[in-house]
Amino acid sequence: MNARDSKLARHQALIDGHFVEASDGRSFEVTNPADGTLVARVADCTAADAEVAIHAAHAAFPAWRALTARDRTRLLRKWCELVMRHQDELGDLLAREQGKPRAEARAEIAYGASYIEWFAEEARRIYGDVVPAPVAGREVLVLKEPVGVTAAITPWNFPSAMVARKIAPALAVGCTCVVKPAAETPLSALALGALAKEAGIPAGVLNILPTSRTEEVGLVLTTHPLVRKISFTGSTAVGRKIMRQGAETIKKVSLELGGNAPFIVFDDADLDAAVKGAIGSKFRNSGQTCVCANRFLVQAGIYDAFANKLAEAAAASRVGPAFEPGVQQGPLISQKALAKVEALVADALGKGARALTGGARHPRGGTFYQPTVLVEVPAEAQLLEEEIFGPVAPLVRFETEEEAIRLANASEYGLAAYFFSRDIGRVWRVARAIEAGLVGVNEGVISAVEAPFGGVKQSGIGREGSRYGTEEYLDLKYVCMGGL
Ligand code: SIN
């Protein structure tokens, strides 16, 4: 099936309940990263379109927040049902624009739907407080209220799930939204918009602006006085800029930024479990997730055995386009991404690292890169400091627990961290000592709607998912009732 044949493949912006062209009629190309073929031409929204969308969201806010939580729950549930009913179609659309294997793309749709379902349920649990008053004849109340219009700027690595993860809590608590999906992957967001409309979510509550004019549209979203909150997933550099731009109008911000996740394997680890966890953590989405293991710190006694087993498992991974049966690893998103991975590997090899497997582009060409395991990676290698965002596992040897913790925390980032050990005392010590928002102990893939997702240090601010996820979209109001 061609993307043009799917009723969910929408090529126009969703503004105030209508699918519309960009105001200046321009469009841009969305291509399949596996082979560069055209997937669709999509409306290229302008700053003026962003302005219209923000006003639509602002106009829709009073009625949307005035609905009962139960009514919003019903609408979100309906939306979730529609998403799951179209899981295969949405997954195929996603695989076409993003490149990840079909099974992984379909799993992402279910992952995104889990956020809609969760926040549909949470909508009815936004409790305030009645606090013992300091003065007789008074009542002290704390109310939770939706912040208003929110802007979501979403990434290409999870084009559906990250949109759902941001919009669902916002809508659940009564906020309205304007979304700017990544230029590489706008179709999944637009398809979610089409289903939200079909579910009965009113006009203006959810607006989606595909655009290649990222700076221009981003500037409106981050500086407009009617936008009260921005949620962004992407690089730390862009996160800093968004925070600066939002500062002028004192916006609330949630930033889910870069990481440099350590993956520590202690001598006492279950070797097979560590290798399985490493494959999941490192090679999921071709290594293009913010929580992918970026540095493998392996204790001397288990180093060779772990390295060899990991290299064997990585080499066995089937690389190819999304729709080829049995494919486990897709292409990288772009030539630019490929060039970055190549440069980081060349730097490490040039400084003395050795490739146990991979270390080069894949013979399939395009933006495919071989699953790679590098050993004896020296401390000066750039890829130990930078987010690789590719299927490359660099291994560093360490001797003691203290050294592992020191190396793990020697980063400006603090999103995810993983470690494998069967010593219960060590498990507690290391879990406490690690500076990260998410810690996987004897597990390599830990994201789940039930748990808070977000980083410390320069990996971000705020949490998504879990019962804490709604707080990002709420203001507290203290009401002092006197004269009682
Ligand atoms: C991300 O890479 O930003 C999200 C990954 C996840 O939810 O596991």
Q: How high does pLDDT run on average in the chain? A: 97
Closest-CA residue to 281 (of 293, 265, 296): 293
Quote the ligand 1 centre to 148 CA distance (angstroms).
26
Query: Is the distance from the beta carbon of residue 459 to the nearest atom of ligand 1 less than 6 Å?
Result: no
Q: CA–CA separation, 171 vs 18, rounded Å?
A: 18
pLDDT at 4: 52
* 233 Cα nearest atom in ligand 1: 3
Q: Which of the listed residues 449, 453, 463 should we mutate to test ligand 1's pocket, taking the one with most ligand atoms within 8 A of CB?
A: 453
Domains of the chain: 3-257+459-480 (3.40.605.10), 261-449 (3.40.309.10)
Other residues' Cβ atoms within 10 Å of the Cβ of residue 246? 23
Edge-to-edge order in the sheet of strand 416-420: 354-357, 372-375, 392-398, 293-299, 261-265, 416-420, 438-441
* 285 Cα nearest atom in ligand 1: 2
Q: Which of 45, 80, 290, 292 is catalytic?
A: 290
pLDDT at 199: 98
Both tokens assigned to 469: 């996820």
Quote the ligand 1 centre to 412 CA distance (angstroms).
19
Query: Is the distance from the beta carbon of residue 114 to the nearest atom of ligand 1 less than 6 Å?
Result: no
Q: Which residues of 367-379 are buried (b: 16+ CB within 10 A; e: fewer)?
A: bbbbbbbbbbbee
Is 91 a residue whose pLDDT tops 50?
yes
pLDDT in tens, 452-473: 999 999 999 999 999 999 999 9
* 292 Cα nearest atom in ligand 1: 2
Closest-CA residue to 171 (of 126, 214, 128): 126
Is 420 a residue whose pLDDT tops 80?
yes
Is-above-0.85 flag for pTM?
A: yes
Query: Is the distance from the beta carbon of residue 290 to the nearest atom of ligand 1 less than 6 Å?
Result: yes
Query: Does the active-site annotation cover 290?
Result: yes
417 contacts 313 by C-beta, under 8 angstroms? no
Band of residue 249 on the pLDDT scale cut at 50, 70, 90: very high
Helices (H), 123-182: 161-173
Both tokens assigned to 482: 């006197």
pLDDT at 5: 55
Is 449 a residue whose pLDDT tops 90?
yes
* 290 Cα nearest atom in ligand 1: 2
pLDDT at 1: 45
Band of residue 265 on the pLDDT scale cut at 50, 70, 90: very high
pLDDT at 6: 74
Whose CA is closest to atom 6 on ligand 1?
Answer: 447
Both tokens assigned to 89: 């179609």
pLDDT in tens, 192-208: 999 999 999 999 999 99
Both tokens assigned to 104: 């992984």
Query: Is the distance from the beta carbon of residue 291 to the nearest atom of ligand 1 less than 6 Å?
Result: yes
Closest-CA residue to 84 (of 100, 104, 106): 106
pLDDT in tens, 374-409: 999 999 999 999 999 999 999 999 999 999 999 999
294 contacts 287 by C-beta, under 8 angstroms? no
